[in-house]
Amino acid sequence: MSSPTPRADVVDAARELIDLGEERAGATLDLSRSPAAAERLGRIAADELRGHAVDLVVAWDDARDAVLSHIAARELGVARVTVYEDLGQLIVAAHRLQGARLGVVFTTEDDRHDPGPLTAITTRSGGEVVATVVVVRAEELAAASEES
């Protein structure tokens, strides 16, 4: 199976946010480098969620995920909730998941968390995780890094 072709608009935005700091093993994204590029990525996340009739956007407690999920939620006109993880346990306002159609946002594949526990909590609350979005895929981060 081949990797999907990097989306040019994502690569362009990621290029503006790339941080190749010496202390890091690889490239990462620093959303503070360009609020305009962060806005573009948040709108891309919203576009990917739009077709799933999401009524709640979820992100783990990570600054980058929080920024992009906030933008996506704003663009969709829906609420947003944060999931916290402590000692392997999820902490989330479960009452907000009741009957909700969740869209989960991760900035990169490195930010992904196991969706199983969140799915279980959501299902018990009568809700459903209907979409998971990785805004900047590995091949897009690599392409942005090469061109920086």
Average pLDDT value for residue range 42-68: 96
DSSP code, position 77? T
Beta bridge pairs of residue 81: 58
**Residue 89 · residue 97 · CB < 8 Å:** no
Domain 8-147 has CATH 3.40.50.2020: yes
Average pLDDT value for residue range 34-63: 96
What is the structure's pLDDT at 19?
84
pLDDT above 80: residue 5: no
The Cα–Cα gap between 66 and 60 comes to 7
Residues 6+ apart with CB under 8 A from 130: 52, 53, 54, 101, 102, 103
Domain boundaries, the chain: 8-147
Q: Which amino acid is at 28?
A: T
Mean pLDDT of the chain, nearest integer: 90
